[in-house]
Amino acid sequence: MSARTKTILILAALILILALLPLGMYFSRRVSANPPGTVGNTAGNLNNGGLFCEYGGSVYFYDPQAGGLFAMQPDESGVRRLNSLKVGNILAGGHSLYYFQSGAASPSGSGLWQVPGIHSFDRCDLDGNGATVLTTDVVVAAQLVDNFLYLLTTAPSSISFYKLKTDGSGQVQLADYLINPACAADGVIYYNGTQSNHYLYALDTATDVSVERFRGNLYNPVLSGDYVYYMDVAENYRLCRYSFSQNAVQVLTNDRVDCFNVGGGYIYYQKNSATEPELICMLEDGQNPQVVAQGNYTHINMTSRYVYFQAFGDDTCLYHAPLGSTAFSLFAPAEE
């Protein structure tokens, strides 16, 4: 082969590589479609900081003691570190995780997006690799519905509720006022009004059109089967549930509630009291209330096996208890 022929072949190869490079970059950034009906996390978890998210046989969580995003089995075995970021609002769907991060969670953190004071809403693979920044807006609340992310963001003088595709493109503003997208099922986001009333509304994500569903006085709705659980604003934030099929309200407790979560047949809520604040567990119908812990607790997150929570004013550690149990202890997972 002559030198001239070799040169021509090398140039042809370089031209082919340069021609295919944009195509390769496109496919490397492409996010595969999620299974129909995908919802990123439960409303109860997201309303409590979104520190835990169970998906595909794994639990993804933020550990404030070790600092960072971790994964484990639902029985708390097989703990593995995914990054060293301080994260919340954890979502999962398809092959990806999503979270809002606010920099390094410990001095060992490193990298461009692990600098203290730098925040962003990110996507990564389920193993923590391939992290990509989707927006640097301050995300107050977020949910994944099928192949779109719904984000409530805030700036010093404005609020914006918008959606964007899971690859970060196609941003569309839906409202310039507060809409919490945490409660979602079957392509519909349920939220309480924040303008002229606190009714329950349903946003059809296929059309971006909202309709009124229930004229209650709600805060932080959580959907479970036929019921939507909520704090009754007009009645001292007591916990109630509304049945769609029966069009009826059931009062679950007359305690003033600070926060709550629903799952696995149980309700956990923080009783607001100046003299006897308590974390309480009861059945989903309000029966058999039991005190789990005395004092003030927050960030109540649930998986299929455990409930997790933090002491109010102390975000340095987590406590856990098997669902339905009143015996709790410090959650201190060990990496394997």
Q: What pLDDT digit, counting tens, does each position of 145-161 carry?
A: 999 999 999 987 899 99
Q: Are residues 291 and 308 in the same domain?
A: yes
Residue 92 inside a domain? The answer is: yes
Specify the number of domains making up the chain: 3
Q: Are residues 241 and 266 in the same domain?
A: no
Q: Please list, in sequence order, all residues whose beta carbon lies within 8 angstroms of the beta carbon of residue 214, skipping any fewer than 6 positions away.
A: 199, 200, 228, 242, 244
Q: How many Cβ atoms are within 10 Å of 191's Cβ, its own excluded?
A: 27
* Boundary-marking domain end, from 181, 202, 229: 181
Phi–psi pair at 259, nearest 5 degrees? -160, 160
Residue 330 inside a domain? The answer is: yes
Q: Are residues 103 and 167 in the same domain?
A: yes
Q: Are residues 287 and 157 in the same domain?
A: no
Question: Which whole-number Å values give the CA distances from 145 to 132, 141, 229, in the listed order?
Answer: 19, 13, 20
pLDDT at residue 1, rounded to an integer: 58
pLDDT digits (tens, 9 = 90+) for 24-55: 444 445 689 999 999 999 999 999 999 999 99
Tell me which residue of 229, 298, 317, 232 sits closest to 266, measured CA to CA.
Answer: 229
Q: Are residues 294 and 224 in the same domain?
A: no
Q: Are residues 93 and 134 in the same domain?
A: yes
Residue ranges of the chain with per-residue pLDDT less than 50 = 22-28, 107-116
Q: How many Cβ atoms are within 10 Å of 221's Cβ, its own excluded?
A: 26
Q: Are residues 163 and 96 in the same domain?
A: yes
Residue 275 inside a domain? The answer is: yes
pTM for the structure as a whole: 0.88
Report the CATH number that the domain containing residue 90 is assigned in CATH.
2.120.10.30
Q: How many Cβ atoms are within 10 Å of 214's Cβ, its own excluded?
A: 19
Question: Which whole-number Å values give the CA distances from 237 to 222, 253, 267, in the listed order?
Answer: 14, 10, 15
201, β-bridge pairs: 191, 212
Q: Are residues 250 and 269 in the same domain?
A: no
Range of the structural domain that residue 335 is part of: 259-336
* Boundary-marking domain end, from 207, 231, 254: 254
* Boundary-marking domain end, from 138, 166, 181: 181
Q: Please list, in sequence order, all residues whose beta carbon lies within 8 angstroms of the beta carbon of residue 234, skipping any fewer than 6 positions away.
A: 217
